[in-house]
Amino acid sequence: MRRAACRDPRDGKFLSLAVAGRADCIVSGDGDLLDMAAYRSIPVYRPAEFLRIFAESKT
């Protein structure tokens, strides 16, 4: 039996899109995605965390 990547199967479309689009990260406030921390080496960040990382990369 195949196990779902995320405990909420409705979030699978976002994971597939991130992989297909070769995303550097996933930014979400969704608890199910955030609990994963990463999917196929694509990190999952809260919006505020992403903004902090983005701002630090520009300095």
Residues 37, 59: Cα–Cα separation, whole Å: 25
pLDDT for residue 1 is more than 80: no
Record the pTM: 0.86
Please tell me which residue, 2 or 52, carries the higher pLDDT value: 52
52-57: average pLDDT: 94
pLDDT at 59: 79
Where helices occur in 1-59 by DSSP H, the ranges are: 12-20, 31-36, 47-57
Tens digit of pLDDT for each residue in 2-50? Answer: 566 889 999 999 999 999 999 999 999 999 999 999 999 999 999 999 9
Residues 37, 39: Cα–Cα separation, whole Å: 7
pLDDT at 5: 83
